């Protein structure tokens, strides 16, 4: 009997130890809406949520307590009141947008500790988390 090898298995899976290393590393750079919402609802501090969208989109709705810092405005001057030792969680509109990646990169270039909130505001709303306006 001939075993067909499809597209999924065309490239063999990594060794489990390599998989653990790679996937564990992602958590150093990313968080998700559920974890951010849980920490916010339980009063867990130690991080600032940064909305990298435009002021208009921010005004229409945003993660509670988020600060609006549009990606294109991130400079040493615009971040002078932020603590580089505090973790900053960036988000943008959603998976179709790279604004949170650009914001995280820019903040990291300025010396800030950052993670991206995967899914962005789109998934925040889809998951039914509270929204401030």
Report the catalytic residues.
Answer: 92
Taking the C-alpha atoms of residue 102 and residue 90, their distance in angstroms, rounded to an integer, is 9
- Kindly list the strands in the beta sheet with 87-91, ordered across the sheet, starting from the edge strand earlier in the chain: 30-32, 113-118, 87-91, 47-51, 67-68
Neighbours of 46 (CB within 10 A): 8
Nearest to 124 by CA among 37, 59, 27: 37
| Residue 95 CB contacts under 8 Å (≥ 6 apart), including other chains | 118, 119, 120, 122, 123
| Coil/strand/helix, residue 46 | coil
């Amino acid at each position: 009997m001939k075993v067909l090898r499809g597209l999924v298995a065309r490239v063999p899976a990594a060794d489990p130890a390599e998989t653990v290393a790679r996937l564990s590393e992602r958590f150093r750079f990313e968080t998700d809406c559920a974890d951010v919402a849980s920490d916010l609802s339980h009063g867990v501090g130690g991080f600032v949520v940064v909305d990298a969208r435009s002021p208009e989109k921010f005004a229409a709705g945003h993660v509670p307590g988020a600060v609006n810092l549009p990606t294109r405005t991130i400079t040493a001057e615009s971040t002078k009141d932020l603590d580089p030792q505090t973790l900053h969680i960036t988000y943008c509109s959603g998976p179709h947008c790279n604004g949170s990646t650009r914001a995280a990169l820019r903040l990291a270039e300025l010396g800030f500790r950052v993670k991206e909130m995967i899914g962005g505001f789109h998934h925040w709303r889809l998951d039914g988390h509270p929204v401030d306006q």
